[in-house]
Amino acid sequence: MTTPIDRAALVRRHNPRFTEPHPADVLTVGNGNVAMTVDCSGLQTFPAFHELATEPMFAAMFSGDLRFDKDQIEIPVRTQASWGWYATRSSREYSMAEAETVYETRRASRPYAEGMGIAIPGQDIPAEDEAAAWLASNPRRLHLGRLALYTSADLPALTGPDQLEAPVVALDLWAGVVESRFRLAGEPVVVTAAAHPDDDILTVRVVSPLLARGLAVTWVFDEQPDPIHTFEQELDDTVAWAGDGKLMTGTHRVETTSYEAHVCTSGQLTVSDGGRSVVATSAAPALEVSVHLGPVSGQRVANPDTTDDVIAAASRWWRRYWSEGAVVSFEGSTDPRATELERRVVLSQYLTAVNCAGSTPPQETGLIYNTWDGKFHLEMHWWHAAHFAMWGRGHLLARSLDWYHRILAVARETARHQGYEGGRWPKQTDPSGRESPNSIGPFLIWQQPHLIYLLELLWTEGRPPAFIDEHLPLVEATATFMADFVERRDEYYELPPPLIPAQETYPRATTANPTFELAYWSWALRIANQWRARAGLEPVARWAEISASMRPPTVLDDGTYAAVSTPPHLLRTDHPSMLMALGWVPETGLVDTSIMARTLASVLLDWQRSSTWGWDYPVMAMTAARLGDLATAIEALLQDAPRNVFLPNGHNPQLPGWLTLYLPANGGVLAAVAHFVHAMARGVPLPDGWRVTAEGMSGELP
């Protein structure tokens, strides 16, 4: 009889703990819809120490000459929420038509929001590109404010983390609570912080004799930290406070966006810093402060939660999270890398629950700070959230499904505007569902089948029949667009230009038939008809015909798969996306396993590692697992490469000065390990030195 895994011991042996300040050593508490990232003080006391300081290494990213170490990485300490967005002013109104380019295809003229590349603040933007740049940059996520330590009276102002003596800050993963201990001015200070699991409430308790001497806690409405582009106007930013000494409501307006922070305390509240902040003080040995964030409601918070209430609720939620989902242990392995893989798995479960389980899809940096203009990327939604269903926590993925229903009309209009039927999902977007102009994003197509995949995972995990009826409109709109996008040539259906595959290094105007997307189209259209059958409907004959007749992927002279069917066929940089045709995508009959095995071996032998991204290693691992080779899967997942490093807090940096964490890689690790476990269930042996024990891995992979 197998001994059950001691889940608490497994999780807690990977609690991140820091004993000296570093700009990358931050911890986050949150609930998927709101999150607060803290420094070594246990709060957000030293933002300048963590602000992005190095020059973004864009040239290195695109050339492949990427080398960096942890000392080049900073992670900002901010507070963000899924509902918090603002837009800047501009000198005039911009229309999407100004950013569009019309492409002539065999069937029709199709407008694309082509835009420009990355608009870097401070760079000159040609007048003809201003509309595209503004539309891509707006709206963006708000930094809601900071909960920080504050000093007055005879205590020195807090200016840097070196003022904290012998700091020890740790995250209890099992309870979702951060605790920091240090000495300040020779006296002990203990700071405990948490986030409510169901409400957007952040809380802190400070215990110290220094409270009687001027140590305090402040909530600060910071100005927005994201740089403004040269063609945008300065922000209209105001704060107003109302309330009494125990509970005060601050209303923060940034341009046309307003939101509230209801601050309550066991001490006394005083407005400070010209109205930008409120300070909580107490002569007692302990001080508690809670901040309830949300859009403007005009309602006073009744019976505000105490710090004990929030910490207790957080602890209950996290114990249930760890206890009820799947768990995988590498204990008993003799390979020294097993401990590191287990650490990545545990920390990735925490980070994705905090950052990637909200009411909208997450941005690549979650709720920590803005990249890509603070928007989220639908081609990354699978990476952020598919693992929830694989690990028996599909309810966290399901939180975002209502958003797809809300923007379905927008997706239909996007398709109609381009001359297609059905609904075309955007690539980079915001809660509105509008596509962001860009030289790459609008031409990507691999996000189109994602929703079918995610819904199929949830169905496989176990859902009532009503789930089919509720979400069938999303499946049908997606499949209808996919079926209309293809073109018939000879006896096959093709994916025609303009498009850019998941490997974004090919010319949009001429590229056709990317290997991964061919298989993904075939699989998703077959699954769409299965959804109709589950709803008691007849299959759509065209979907079935296309699924069975997609063009076979192109094979190179060396017997491996090309990335695309058009020249240059294969570039050995960026994402090796042809591997995803079998691994990410299950067997479709379109991919030959022996050819794919040679393709994987070729990628492992000869690919520009410095140009890859954090989710490429899970891609390789999933393909190896589907091929029944767990030794190669483990080697792939743990490759020594610049963007396959996971910091002590579990974050995976990609680009110093800009993308210093990358949550798609965390979700990818969890998806890859789910593929390991399912391969083991099929009888695939583990390599020598490895022992993997799993409990609760739900359903079957597609």
CA distance 365 to 355: 8
Domain end (from 283, 312, 341): 312
Residue pair 472/480 in contact (Cβ under 8 Å)? The answer is no
* Residue numbers in the chain where pLDDT is lower than 70: 1-2, 58-64, 117-122, 302, 699
User: What total number of domains does the chain contain?
Assistant: 2
pLDDT of amino acid 303: 72
Contacts of 254 (CB under 8 A, 6+ apart): 86, 142, 224, 235, 236, 237
Residue pair 695/5 in contact (Cβ under 8 Å)? The answer is yes
CA distance 399 to 229: 33
pLDDT of amino acid 228: 82
148 and 291, same domain (yes or no): yes
CA distance 158 to 170: 21
Q: How many CB atoms lie within 10 A of CB 620?
A: 25
- Crossing angle of the two packed helices 450-462 and 466-485, in degrees rounded to 10: 150
Domain end (from 312, 333, 349): 312
119 and 249, same domain (yes or no): no
Residue 655 in any domain: the answer is no
Residue 162 in any domain: the answer is yes
**Residues of the domain holding 207:** 7-83+140-312
79 and 105, same domain (yes or no): no
- In this prediction the pTM is 0.97
Residue 264 in any domain: the answer is yes
68 and 158, same domain (yes or no): yes
198 and 227, same domain (yes or no): yes
Element (H, E) at 80: strand 79-81
238 and 289, same domain (yes or no): yes
Residue 458 in any domain: the answer is no
Domain end (from 256, 291, 312): 312
The CA-to-CA distance between both ends of the chain, in Å, stands at 30
Task: Name the nearest CA neighbour of 49 among 73, 80, 79, 19.
Answer: 73
pLDDT of amino acid 358: 97
CATH number at residue 38: 2.70.98.50
168 and 26, same domain (yes or no): yes
Helix (H, G, I), strand (E, B) or coil at 379: helix
120 and 213, same domain (yes or no): no
Residue 463 in any domain: the answer is no
What digits encode the pLDDT tens for the residues 535-554?
999 999 999 999 999 999 99
Residue 335 in any domain: the answer is no
Element (H, E) at 168: strand 165-172
242 and 294, same domain (yes or no): yes
Strands 268-272 and 85-86: unpaired
Phi, psi of 323 (to 5 degrees): -85, -30
114 and 45, same domain (yes or no): no
What digits encode the pLDDT tens for the residues 43-81?
999 999 999 987 777 666 666 677 788 889 999 999 999
Residue 72 in any domain: the answer is yes
pLDDT of amino acid 699: 64
Residue pair 187/209 in contact (Cβ under 8 Å)? The answer is yes
221 and 167, same domain (yes or no): yes
209 and 282, same domain (yes or no): yes
Residue pair 192/311 in contact (Cβ under 8 Å)? The answer is yes
Residue 347 in any domain: the answer is no
